[in-house]
Amino acid sequence: MRGLAFLAELTHALYQHDAACRVIARLTRERDEARHALATMQPAQAVAAPQHADSGGMDVEVAAPAEAEDGMTDEVIAKLTKTAKTLSKQRKKRSKPAELATADQIKQMAQSKSQTGLHGSSAQITSMSLGNVTNGLLLTGGSDKKAVLFDTDAEKVIATMTGHKKKVTDVALHPSADVALTCSNDATVKVWTASAGAELQSVATHSADVTGISLHPTGDYFVSASSDRHWGFHSVETGQTLAYYTDESVTSGLTCAQVHPDGMIFATGTADNMVHVWDIKEQKKLTTFNDHSAPVTSVTFSENGYYMATASSDALIKLYDLRKIDNFHTIEMEAGNKINSISFDHSGSYLMAGGNDIRVYASKVRSRPLAQLVRDARVRCAAAVCAPFLPCTAWSAPRMHVRPCAAASFRCWRGSLPFGPFSPLACGRKSTSVRQKLTSVCVCVRAFAPAWLPLPAHQTWEHLKTLDSHKKAVTSVAFGQHAQSIFSTSADRSLKQYTF
């Protein structure tokens, strides 16, 4: 009887939880629809900044950019949507290249080239971008207020870009056009003719340090992030600001930005340890991750668009499955290792982090233990004895049969572990199979179970290689073509290349 009473209480609690989730989802949807309607009726407010923004404890007067009057036109939105659909289809057909470096080859990597003197005699290299990995060109930014286009094959400087008034904080090299982007603590983003080092546009939308930029997959737009808590969406060709936005929940400056490979969303890190994911087209915040305990320093997406990795000064790398909004793995380094840059290779097989040194990790897919699956699903049944999973003839959905110790019959639980809620229903079916008792959980699976109940694989990341040739903190890392080379920059003023 005690077992039946427990199940009745659990049933009531689950129904209450489900009802509450439905109410919250409905209210959230109505709120978002109201915000979108307001933005549609009053477009000027969608791109205007508040009167004051937080910038290092100082009140800074913020003016809405004059260029933002046209905003996100139907033409711009159509281009973004078309690009996303095209790239998504191409990505599904893509397979890993035969030339992709193997784990053993990664382990054999060593420094092959090193360059110093790209920037001033005492200037640190703060950032790097490869653009097109096949042409040997990369772009660096420095604390000397300059950006440098460098040919790694010929080992010579192609152009130097001068015009910022403060340190260059991030750079982006266009993969198919002769265009370079730079941003700076002088609150501007500049667009350059890369090969000539000639300034084309200067975007002065932000009111504080611009901390990150990311080129959109169309190649026609870019995103900027700033300490003024706002992000901007701009045209590469004209420098026009099409959107300038923040959310009332964002209370600290943005520290980095990265556009998703499909181009419909992007992520920003913040100085108060948060990661926000934004919808470019709708100009709204989609979700927030608060798993770090120190400022977020870098955000990156895998090329297939499924995974996002974030790094922080707390010496942690968090990996998220965007299909489930799930932090499925954490890489923990020793305390004090401030991670400044992370990057996936193009295939998504490898992840690299730059901090006190450079570390390369390989993706491994393993079967998840059943007990872990149950713990993830938050299934609990005190003092219960487990019976095997059996398909219930009365329902087409998978069921789980559980027999409390004090009860004579099994209960049938509806749901698919671990993705949905369980609702107990009366079921007189009994099992004579061997039972297995697990600590604080009540489930076991027979060999035939995967035929009707898919068990998701568990992805982990195995450490392959550490490269420690830099004398100071690594500021930026990137993979070359097919992960057959690695590039890094550092506060020690050097640019290094590694091969096997």
With contact defined as beta carbons under 8 Å apart, do 355 and 343 qualify? no
Quick one: the chain helix, strand, coil %, rounded to 5? 15, 40, 40
Which of 168, 225, 162 minimizes the C-alpha distance to 192?
162
pLDDT of residue 435: 34
Q: How many CB atoms lie within 10 A of CB 332?
A: 10
Residue 259 banded pLDDT, cuts 50, 70, 90? very high
Is 52-368+461-499 in CATH node 3.30.9.30? no
Would you kindly state where each structural domain of the chain is located, as residue ranges? 2-47, 52-368+461-499
Which of 346, 356, 361, 317 minimizes the C-alpha distance to 484?
346
With contact defined as beta carbons under 8 Å apart, do 305 and 91 qualify? yes
Q: What is the pLDDT of residues 434-464, one digit of tens each?
A: 333 333 333 333 333 333 344 445 678 999 9
Mean pLDDT of 385-405: 37
pLDDT of residue 16: 67
Q: What is the pLDDT of residues 291-344, one digit of tens each?
A: 999 999 999 999 989 999 999 999 999 999 998 888 999 999 999 899 999 999
Placement of tokens 């309607």 in the chain: 37
Which of 343, 443, 447 minimizes the C-alpha distance to 399?
443
Mean pLDDT of 383-405: 36
Specify whether the backbone of 483 is left (phi greater than 0), alpha (psi in -120 to 50) or beta.
left
Residue 374 banded pLDDT, cuts 50, 70, 90? very low
pLDDT of residue 32: 62
pTM of the model: 0.71
φ, ψ for residue 125, nearest 5 deg: -90, 120
Q: Dump the DSSP string for 231-258.
A: EEEEETTT--EEEEE--TT--S-EEEEE
Dist. CA 226–CA 183, nearest whole Å:
10
